[in-house]
Amino acid sequence: MENNSDSQKLIDANNELDKVSKMLVRRDRELSLVKEQALQVDELKSEFVSTVAHQLRTPLAGNKWILSMLSHGEVGPVNEEQKAFLVKVYNSNERMVTLVSELLDIDRVTTNRIKYTFVEADIFTLINKALAELSPSVEMKGIRIFVEGRDSGIPKVFIDADKIAAVLQNLIDNATKYTLGSGDVIIKVEKNDGHVKLSVKDNGIGIPKNVQNKIFTLFYRAPNATQVEIDGSGAGLYLSKKILNKHGTDIWFESEEGKGSTFYVTLPTKPFKGVA
């Protein structure tokens, strides 16, 4: 008797197990289907963004060329007032160009379609390149830029040079753009535990404490930056963080509102093998 009821229990438990495992298989199939659909939607979105962005690029490049010719008087004389308007339109066009290329970068980063090529590079060569591309307004504002650490035996870094150049450009641009009047920007390079640590320090508007945790969020801009109407899209630091994480390193900052900010990045001195 005892034996019979035990075996019945076993049979029931087995049946139950069978039901549960069938249900799990069904759920698994449903989940795969949903995942596949999500991937398809993602691909469509990505295709849309990239088509729109590429189509916007061509007319913007054309505008840039025409506006430059017009403002330089190459099509006919322009007076100072007309020139000032043309320069304004030129600058807006430039902002659109930047936005469109940021849009493409964001899409490539979020869909993991950016290819990384790691090479041995000299960090000071990259800094010099970034400095050569600074906007003329930096000098006009009276901002001085110092580079420290050149003679301290800094090792070579293993990086994707174009992408790290974009990160440096962004940090230096921010340091100069968020300094309202004149000021000093200090770029410092140090050796740091198997890494090279680079910092960009400014004495600009700083970042309020209560929003510091949002600074690397895509499209986030601090209220003190938007209040003074400094141009920006809030994409640069988001992209920078993604790029550094792909190098197995990071970016962070210290800042005090009204006093200034220091952004830090670390760069690997050996090829990064991990999957970030």
Residues lying near ligand ADP in the complex (CB under 6 A):
170, 174-175, 178, 202, 204-207, 215, 221-222, 225, 232-238, 261
Nearer to ligand ADP, 154 or 175 (CB): 175
Nearer to ligand ADP, 170 or 199 (CB): 170
The distance of closest approach from Cβ of residue 176 to ligand ADP in the complex, given in angstroms and rounded to an integer, is 9
The distance of closest approach from Cβ of residue 274 to ligand ADP in the complex, given in angstroms and rounded to an integer, is 25
The distance of closest approach from Cβ of residue 14 to ligand ADP in the complex, given in angstroms and rounded to an integer, is 58
Return the closest-CA partner of residue 47 out of 128, 91, 111. Answer: 111
The distance of closest approach from Cβ of residue 233 to ligand ADP in the complex, given in angstroms and rounded to an integer, is 5
The distance of closest approach from Cβ of residue 126 to ligand ADP in the complex, given in angstroms and rounded to an integer, is 18
The distance of closest approach from Cβ of residue 193 to ligand ADP in the complex, given in angstroms and rounded to an integer, is 25
Nearer to ligand ADP, 257 or 270 (CB): 257
- How long is the chain? 276
Nearer to ligand ADP, 70 or 130 (CB): 130
DSSP notation for 74-123: SSS---HHHHHHHHHHHHHHHHHHHHHHHHHHHHHHHTT------EEE-H
Q: Which helix (H) or strand (E) holds 145?
A: strand 143-148
Q: Retrieve residue 121's tokens.
A: 């590079």
Nearer to ligand ADP, 232 or 268 (CB): 232
The distance of closest approach from Cβ of residue 230 to ligand ADP in the complex, given in angstroms and rounded to an integer, is 7
Nearer to ligand ADP, 161 or 172 (CB): 172
Return the closest-CA partner of residue 198 out of 165, 176, 222. Answer: 165
Nearer to ligand ADP, 65 or 219 (CB): 219
**Closest residue to ligand ADP using C-beta atoms:** 232
Give me the sign of the Cα torsion angle 166, 222, 251, 200: positive
Which amino acid is present at 263? F
Q: Is 2 exposed, middle or buried (0-12, 13-18, 19+ CB in 10 A)?
A: exposed
CA–CA distance, 235 with 170 (Å, rounded to integer): 10
Measured at the CA of 231, the angle between CA 222 and CA 83, to 5 degrees, comes to 160
